[in-house]
């Protein structure tokens, strides 16, 4: 197990392109202005705020000489075109979620979340000290970008339902707003997945055009007001045991940066990566209380749904892996860490949390 | 709930001393050389490595102009004098654990770990988005230092025992190497706490001078070889549900830094804070496997020990708080977040982990 860190991994991704694009700048502290397009609106302050923290940190530590201007989704390009805009140099970098691009290649899912993947701390460990970031950046090189972890939402919720789900049978024919691989797995269980932008979820759920919808977790979901039109709030969000956000940087643009600016960017991204998680962990607790006070009914997914989803997820990974060597290689590497990681997790972390949860409920 | 981040909090800690020590340096990128003394030996690569990552990051992003040289415990001052050396300007900063200084004031415990405190993610959330870092830095100001979070070990183990512990009665008269408040709580349950440096634990346990010892977790404990002289390895480490390490920076020295260097230091510390946790989360899983293969018997602390320890901890906090307003204020603030935080934790995170743990053991 070799130690790897952000800078090494980012450096590896840069090496090849450095030969293509020689640093054009001789000065060591030139004025550099970049644009970073986000896939998210400013109203998602936890996520968008991490992008802003990255940009502000870079500016502060370079005395304002390296400026990265953040743009919300739609200001330069629509949210889901952030990666393309970075690849084709419309912008130098973006803040996005890798799994938005599974249409290009399912391997993109592994940079953010796959059903029954790692939890948040494991994801960061696999990225930084396992081979996660190195393998993913080998893959992203095909798209001309280098990825730096750019925050995490923590474990998500499993969505809002207008009717209770008591078994797999209740999922049949249900129209649910859900994206990515979670949707593919649910489709195997009879759900009809729908793709809707954040702002369109509330009216669709209100009118009954859809029966269920997933978004993020209490803090973000409360803002969308989904509790007003769907009573049952399910957990856990088994398709997003964590969701890693990502900074994608055009690899030639990164190679053109003075070395110190590159280090500033990598270090600032790491700070943003940690800060977003802390933000969610602080804001979700009061939000779940508000939701419950407003009448939300919390429900745990029935065991048969969890088991069936787990089985179908494994089958899906087999099918994808048989056709896609990149997916197979990176998924298998993640899985090889996940087993021992959970074996350890259940000892100190899980039993501590278990006791604290019980102690709290006893008062 | 106001948003707070490292920089704001560090800035707050600096404001007062800035009036005392005017920046002596007119240039914006002067050569600055600092020394950072660690409370740890280089052999603790996870912890010491985070200090090195901080220093390396600062050097890289300032083009080598701001150099921080790391020193292992004992090279400049002994490990437990790191804070004093920072306060009296022998060094500009140190990498240490706040709870080593509970002899000065029990409030120091709250910067690292108290029995039945927050888990790791909650600690970071409380530091950064709650009032944790702000309140602690108001306290640390008395010692002329500003604290930046400097890594976390994650949830620790509950120590090595030569005999099985089946109930509180088995703790009576047991000589155990354990430091800080965990030791104070165990003393109330009949344990005789012993203070021993890391290197002295193995021979004491081998000779039977002590009956039990706690250190950190699988990765660090394996290196000490404790499994060779004590068979039973208990969990969870209820006195360290997480243990935050800390960078303490002399506040006048911090105020003298050019603004960009201060930002570099804060950002690099945040990166190190995250990286240490990822390092432990990657290295502990194979270590626990090795220990079990070598014959270690894993044991969960009996319920009556956990319950008695929880009760005695609460009583201890009452007693300390009655005499110490700093402790009371900061502990109460932490506790006010802990309740809602665990109420939320048990929903998405805990049930996800629960399913994944069961799925793994079913194969």
Which residues on chain A are in Cβ contact (under 8 Å) with B235? 347-348, 351-352
d(CA A96, CA A244): 9
Q: Percentage of chain A surpassing pLDDT 90?
A: 89
| pLDDT score of A165 | 98
A3, A125, A147, A330 from A134: Cα distances, Å? 11, 12, 9, 10
Rounded to the nearest angstrom, the minimum Cα separation between B116 and chain A is 7
Interface test with A, best of B282, B305, B341, B346 (most A CBs within 10 A): B282
Residue A5, pLDDT > 80, answer: no
| pLDDT score of B27 | 57
pLDDT per residue as tens digits for the range A75-92: 999 999 999 999 999 999
Which residues on chain A are in Cβ contact (under 8 Å) with B345? 353, 357
Confidence bin at A316 (pLDDT 50/70/90) = very high
Interface test with B, best of A124, A150, A283, A285 (most B CBs within 10 A): A285
User: Number of Cβ pairs closer than 8 Å across A and B?
Assistant: 268
| pLDDT score of B110 | 98
Residue A2, pLDDT > 80, answer: no
The partner residue sitting opposite B125, judged by closest CB among A260, A281, A340, is A281
Interface test with B, best of A347, A350, A354, A363 (most B CBs within 10 A): A347
The partner residue sitting opposite A353, judged by closest CB among B258, B278, B350, is B350
Rounded to the nearest angstrom, the minimum Cα separation between A178 and chain B is 17
* Contact assessment for residue A205 and residue A175, using Cβ atoms and an 8 Å cutoff: no
* Contact assessment for residue B134 and residue B9, using Cβ atoms and an 8 Å cutoff: yes
Which residues on chain B are in Cβ contact (under 8 Å) with A310? 355, 359
Chain A residue with minimal CA distance to B156? A348
Tokens 């750019």 belong to residue: A150
Residue A10, pLDDT > 70, answer: no
Which residues on chain A are in Cβ contact (under 8 Å) with B282? 1, 125-126, 128-130, 337
pLDDT per residue as tens digits for the range A287-308: 999 999 999 999 999 999 999 9
* Contact assessment for residue A230 and residue A176, using Cβ atoms and an 8 Å cutoff: no
**Interchain pair B285, A341: CB under 8 A:** yes
A283 burial class (0-12, 13-18, 19+ CB within 10 angstroms)? buried
Confidence bin at A195 (pLDDT 50/70/90) = confident
SS3 A171: helix
**Interchain pair A347, B7: CB under 8 A:** no
DSSP output for A125-139: HHHHTSSHHHHHHHH
Is B215 among the annotated ligand-binding positions?
yes
Confidence bin at A27 (pLDDT 50/70/90) = low
Residue A24, pLDDT > 90, answer: no
Which residues on chain A are in Cβ contact (under 8 Å) with B298? 347
* Contact assessment for residue A219 and residue A208, using Cβ atoms and an 8 Å cutoff: no
Mean pLDDT of A348-352: 97
Domains of chain B: 3-153+241-281 (3.40.190.170)
Interface test with B, best of A355, A357, A363 (most B CBs within 10 A): A355
Chain B residue with minimal CA distance to A276? B125
Is B156 among the annotated ligand-binding positions?
yes
User: Is this model's pTM higher than 0.90 or not?
Assistant: yes
Which residues on chain B are in Cβ contact (under 8 Å) with A353? 119, 342, 345-346, 349-350, 353
The DSSP bridge pattern shows strands B232-235 and B297-300 to be parallel
- Mean pLDDT per 10-residue segment, chain B (363 residues): 40 38 55 97 96 98 97 96 98 97 97 98 98 98 98 98 98 93 97 89 96 97 96 98 98 97 98 98 98 98 98 98 98 98 98 97 80
The partner residue sitting opposite B357, judged by closest CB among A49, A281, A346, is A346
Cβ neighbors of B273 (< 8 A, separation 6 or more) are A274, B50, B124, B148, B149, B150, B151, B152
| pLDDT score of B19 | 36
| pLDDT score of A208 | 95
Chain A residue with minimal CA distance to B158? A348
**Interchain pair B288, A126: CB under 8 A:** no
Distance of alpha carbon B169 from the chain centroid: 30
Chain A residue with minimal CA distance to B49? A3
A352, B218, B238 from A347: Cα distances, Å? 8, 11, 12
Which residues on chain B are in Cβ contact (under 8 Å) with A354? 350
**Interchain pair B278, A306: CB under 8 A:** no
A274, B43, B72 from B39: Cα distances, Å? 24, 12, 7
């Amino acid at each position: 197990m070799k130690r790897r860190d952000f800078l090494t991994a980012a450096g590896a991704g840069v090496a090849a392109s450095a030969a293509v694009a020689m640093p054009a700048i001789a000065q060591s502290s030139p004025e550099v202005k970049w644009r970073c397009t986000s896939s998210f609106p400013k109203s998602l302050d936890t996520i968008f705020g991490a992008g802003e923290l990255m940009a502000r940190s870079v500016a502060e530590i370079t005395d304002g000489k390296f400026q990265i201007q953040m743009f919300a989704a739609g200001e330069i390009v629509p949210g889901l075109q952030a990666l393309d805009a970075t690849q084709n140099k419309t912008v130098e970098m973006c803040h996005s979620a890798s799994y938005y691009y599974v249409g290009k290649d399912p391997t993109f899912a592994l940079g953010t979340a796959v059903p029954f993947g790692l939890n948040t701390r494991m994801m960061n460990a696999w990225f930084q000290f396992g081979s996660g970031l190195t393998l993913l950046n080998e893959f992203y090189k095909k798209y001309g970008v280098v990825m730096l972890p750019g925050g995490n939402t923590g474990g998500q919720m499993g969505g809002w339902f207008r009717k209770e789900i008591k078994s797999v049978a209740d999922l049949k024919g249900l129209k649910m707003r859900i994206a990515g691989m979670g949707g593919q797995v649910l489709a195997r269980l009879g759900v009809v997945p729908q793709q809707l932008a954040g702002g369109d979820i509330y009216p669709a759920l209100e009118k009954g055009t859809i029966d269920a919808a997933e978004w993020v977790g209490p803090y973000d979901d409360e803002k969308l007001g989904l509790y007003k039109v769907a009573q049952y709030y399910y957990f856990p969000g088994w398709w997003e045991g964590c969701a890693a956000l990502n900074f994608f940087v055009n690899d030639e643009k990164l190679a053109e940066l003075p070395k110190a600016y590159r280090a500033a960017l990598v270090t600032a991204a790491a700070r943003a990566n940690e800060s977003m998680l802390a933000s969610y962990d602080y804001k979700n607790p009061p939000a779940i209380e508000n939701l419950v006070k407003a009448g939300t009914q919390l429900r745990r997914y029935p065991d048969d749904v969890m088991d069936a989803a787990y089985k179908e997820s494994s089958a899906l990974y087999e099918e994808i892996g048989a056709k896609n060597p990149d997916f197979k290689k990176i998924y298998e590497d993640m899985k090889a860490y996940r087993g021992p990681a959970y074996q350890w997790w259940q000892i100190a972390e899980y039993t501590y949390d278990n006791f604290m949860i019980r102690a709290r409920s006893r008062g």
